[in-house]
Structure 1
């Protein structure tokens, strides 16, 4: 280090908050300062007083920034004898009083290694600033994952999360020293067990990153199964919620398949049924008996007379069978006529055995 240079102690920083470029350089190989920027807010890059004196003395300095290309650097501002040229007009301000550079709206792309170089004759003095940009942590929330009373105590699992923020770390604790060990834990999940008679156990969750910190307090209440919410349901509840819908779906699918299989079979039966509406066939049961010759009407042409008692449904009753017509020939359906006057019914004739004729008559087309 040259004469007149003042070594500044860098602010404390965990190894995880160092960018790859800064870790490769190391704090003893040119990187002099770490600056933490807030996403969307202004960030000021300052130089130490000795470099301010050198700038006033020699009157020539420049601000530069690294790029993604290790062989290329971006010139941000040039200062010469009280005048300067700002190559980041509208995005950065140069303060001539202390030669600092203010980035107005810090973005993630601004997280680079910056250099302030003072020229003093044949030599240059370089001050390096590593800028790390973080999004602040939002207000965290606590979710009860499970809550089960057992053996006189309540076992509960809590999850602390923040919706926004970069490089967030979580820790649990309590301001009450009597239960600080009970709530002490590093990480977002806390497994807590306390006696059922303790109705209030205040545990504090802290969500933080290098630029912000948010705190939320959880106060335990009456321990029950229901307070676990959807994530803390009992096993019996989960079985009901999962198994019953599956069984209902299976029953519905079975009914649907059975219905669609029965419909084609019913259609085929209707096509094959002999009692279809347009092709209906009716069976006529007739009794035929020869009667005495002398009792036939005078108009009969044949020496014998045959009387047919026929029954059919659905057609006019005023149609009669012509005498002597064969009983098996198709003819119009008839209603049963009354017995001829002077003749006993066929069933009462003792000397002649009746003969039964089974005939089929097809319904006429409409």
Structure 2
């Protein structure tokens, strides 16, 4: 709070010094609000006398300036109608919605014959301070006193300055300090302690209070987190991480077992054998073949093959004749010459 007063005095002195030299002053603008750039009465009289003036602004290029407005004999041309408004009564320029890009050096130039009178204004733009809040970082009784550490913060604002004080004259010395942190102790027999935090910058100021009737976490105002809440905020994420880790390990232990079961299922799967042979056509009047004709076989094989030794009393079956190239199908072929299909179950040969 005291620093804000010092800054205001410094700005006031700079304005007086600037008017004495007729050169420059500093204006503080609030982000998102209107800002008026005024000229001293001396330049107003010169404008009425000579009737020619212009408003200019610096740009990113130091070799060029942006012309905002021209005034000549009671008439004016505003080149930034959507951004500025010209007050003809005192020749001031109003910025309708101040932005950070408006933070520039402005000039008001009055032409008086062969000479020019220049007035410069440096515009500084600040975001206002939001409502602050107080957090209890630590709070514990010790030797008949209560020791407290508080933290005051504001979420928004440019160049925020924090100061502490008390509105109770009996405890004014306990809550004095500068900066966001405040560490103090007070006798436990005190019935009430009230501390106020002020968050301020050159264009705004906000106050929040901390109240306590005993050395506990029960407190008023806008005090923040308690110690037990901080403990929960640490322990809960750790417990959740441990649970997730256990689930992840269990999944990885089960996955290999499932994979082995799938491999066993593939080993026990039924294998299908496709084999096609052509029946040998018997010529008319020829004796019967000594062995049966070969046919197309679709065989489903599972498990190990049985012993290949033929049953007692049965002669081994002669092998089929090698298949010959099947004749091309013909519509005139009789039905008894069509190949037949046999479905048989055989066992896989031993590797």
Query: What's the TM-score once normalised by structure 1's chain length?
Result: 0.60
**Alpha-carbon distance between aligned partners in 2 of 1:134 and 1:207, rounded to the nearest angstrom:** 14
The corresponding residue for 1:12 is 9
The corresponding residue for 1:141 is 133
Shift of 1:163: 2.1
SS of residue matched to 1:130: strand
Residue 254 and residue 110 in structure 1: after superposition, are their counterparts in 2 closer, same or farther (change >3 A)?
A: closer
Measured against aligned partners, the alpha-carbon deviations of 1:289-322 in whole angstroms (never above 9, x if no partner) come to xxxxxxxxxxxxxxxxxxxxxxxxxxxxxxxxxx
Where do 1:1-366 residues align within 5 Å? 12-13=9-10, 31-224=23-216, 232-233=227-228, 241=236, 244-245=239-240, 247-261=242-256
Alpha carbons 1:43, 1:103 under 8 Å: kept: yes
**Alpha-carbon distance between aligned partners in 2 of 1:220 and 1:27, rounded to the nearest angstrom:** 51
The corresponding residue for 2:311 is none
Shift of 1:11: 5.5
Residue 103 and residue 200 in structure 1: after superposition, are their counterparts in 2 closer, same or farther (change >3 A)?
A: same
Shift of 1:192: 2.5
Alpha carbons 2:134, 2:224 under 8 Å: kept: no
Residue 151 and residue 267 in structure 1: after superposition, are their counterparts in 2 closer, same or farther (change >3 A)?
A: farther
Alpha carbons 1:86, 1:94 under 8 Å: kept: yes
Shift of 1:66: 0.8
Alpha carbons 2:131, 2:207 under 8 Å: kept: yes
Q: More deviation in 210-219 or 233-242?
A: 233-242
SS of residue matched to 2:62: coil
SS of residue matched to 1:182: coil
Shift of 1:111: 1.5
CA RMSD, Structure 1 to Structure 2 (Å): 3.6
Q: How many residues align?
A: 256
Alpha carbons 2:54, 2:110 under 8 Å: kept: yes
Query: What's the TM-score once normalised by structure 2's chain length?
Result: 0.62
Measured against aligned partners, the alpha-carbon deviations of 1:220-263 in whole angstroms (never above 9, x if no partner) come to 24334798976624998688546655554554455444444555
Unaligned runs of 5+ in 1: 1-9, 19-25, 277-366
Shift of 1:12: 2.8
Residue 161 and residue 243 in structure 1: after superposition, are their counterparts in 2 closer, same or farther (change >3 A)?
A: closer
Residue 271 and residue 221 in structure 1: after superposition, are their counterparts in 2 closer, same or farther (change >3 A)?
A: farther
SS of residue matched to 2:214: coil
SS of residue matched to 1:181: coil
Measured against aligned partners, the alpha-carbon deviations of 1:321-350 in whole angstroms (never above 9, x if no partner) come to xxxxxxxxxxxxxxxxxxxxxxxxxxxxxx
